[in-house]
Amino acid sequence: MEKLVIEGGVPLKGEVVVSGAKNAVLPILAATLLTDEPCIIKGAPFLRDTNTMLKILRSLGKECAFHHGAIAVESTGEHSFVADYKLVSTMRASFCVLGPLIAKLKKAKVSLPGGCVIGVRPVDLHLKGVKHLGVDIDINGGYVFAKAKHLRGAQIYLGGEFGSSVLATDNVMMTAVLAKGKTIIESAACEPEVTDLAEFLIKMGAKIKGHGTPTIEIEGVKELHGAEHKIIPDRIEAGTLIIASLITRGNITLKNVHIGHQGALLNKLQEIGAIIKKDGDRLNVTAKRKLEPVNITTLPYPGFPTDMQAQMMSLMAVTPGISIITEKIYQDRFMHVAELNRMGARIQREGPHAIIEGVKSLSGAAVMASDLRASASLVLAGLVAKGKSAVSRIYHLERGYENFDEKLRKLGARVWREKE
């Protein structure tokens, strides 16, 4: 096991390319289960989570080859409907194989999912959605057993306690594409990653309208064929690198950015004093001499993304004044607060709110990552802290950021790996 050691105090400068989106590639890979024909997924990020999904696909009867950012998926001709606990328990997104297995094989046995420990994330909306399509569900021994003689279109409301669900929308959409008749998903997730999945399904022959809005209409077809698709840029990686520039008072240019996916984040960053210049798929980020505090509430897209909450907290920790972050998506997504405070931050949690009193500087310390985005926030804090910081459990970071330490070094950061 390795840790990331960071010597802070270096303003980041230069250019870096943003990788393909983790949260888009995983359901798109799952969607290849809907056809026996070959599929090619381009721009795929080389991540722990990507490799986990490829292992799951291989266990379900697919041959997968990953070469220079492109993944080729073909059928072996031997289909399995069982997604095993040993794989699914390590990554929540792997639960999205449920929909394609039901649609293609009319049965599935999928382990209840695992992943980051950031709060209760039940699968009730997934199951509610596929039940409306004619699927019988039984939960036993930590597995979801699903079967359906005939899938039929339906009108499905997918709103939950904390808004719409991205993975539930993905699962229901992938089930409905091979159901007889029309399906209407109301309160569907509007995230760009859902839209990217829909675009891939359309290339495979699905009939989908309204993706990117709260109402998605799907007209079922008899079968899907193979397709080629390029993954959208990762808006969360882009956001993390933007904050890396601001927190170090650097000057970096990001390439391969979908500017339209960054609205809420860029709006808040400009509010605090970021200077952002846009040019096609390029984004240059610098900061005014003095940044201002800000209040943020995480919301489903197009609101401020919960996946950027931890990184924003690191920036606010060294921004003068009082900032307040309210987390409305995942109730326990504050695991990084204690670790940031170990570095000298002044952050107090009050229920779903984090009250941040900006300090002049942070101090390097040994800290421990608890989840994917928390690990990114600790790396960002280490970039600006005085002295050395050591972030352990960086396997969390590797789940969602492709060669992140290499990209930071390219920008001038003093960061390297050491054995624990």
Question: H helices then E strands: how many in the chain?
Answer: 14, 24
Tokens 């080859």 sit on residue:
65
Pairing of strands 13-17, 2-7: unpaired
**Class of domain 2-19+234-419 as given by CATH:** alpha beta
Identify whether the C-beta of residue 44 lies closer than 8 Å to the C-beta of residue 25: yes
Kindly report the number of other CB atoms within 10 A of residue 351's CB atom: 9
Q: Is 56 left (phi over 0), alpha (psi -120 to 50) or beta?
A: alpha
What is the pTM for the complete model shown?
A: 0.96
Per-residue pLDDT of the chain (420 residues; tens, 9 = 90+): 899 999 999 999 999 999 999 999 999 999 999 999 999 999 999 999 999 999 999 999 999 999 989 999 999 999 999 998 988 888 888 999 999 999 999 999 999 886 444 344 578 999 999 999 999 999 999 899 999 999 999 999 999 887 889 999 999 999 999 999 999 999 999 999 999 999 999 999 999 999 999 999 999 999 999 999 999 999 999 999 999 999 999 999 999 999 999 999 999 999 999 999 999 999 999 998 799 999 999 999 999 999 999 999 999 999 999 999 999 998 788 999 999 999 999 999 999 999 999 999 999 999 999 999 999 999 999 999 999 999 999 999 999 999 999 999 999 999 999 998
Strand, helix or coil for residue 98: helix
Spell out the domain ranges in the chain: 2-19+234-419, 22-219
Identify whether the C-beta of residue 41 lies closer than 8 Å to the C-beta of residue 71: yes
Distance of alpha carbon 299 from alpha carbon 296, whole angstroms? 10
Q: Is 190 a catalytic residue?
A: no
Identify whether the C-beta of residue 82 lies closer than 8 Å to the C-beta of residue 109: yes
Q: Which of 39, 64, 116, 190 is catalytic?
A: 116
Domain 22-219, second-level architecture: Alpha-beta prism (3.65)
- Count of residues in the chain: 420
Task: Reduce the secondary structure of 213-261 to three states and give it as a string.
Answer: CCEEEEECCCCCCCCEEECCECHHHHHHHHHHHHHCCCEEEEECCCHHH
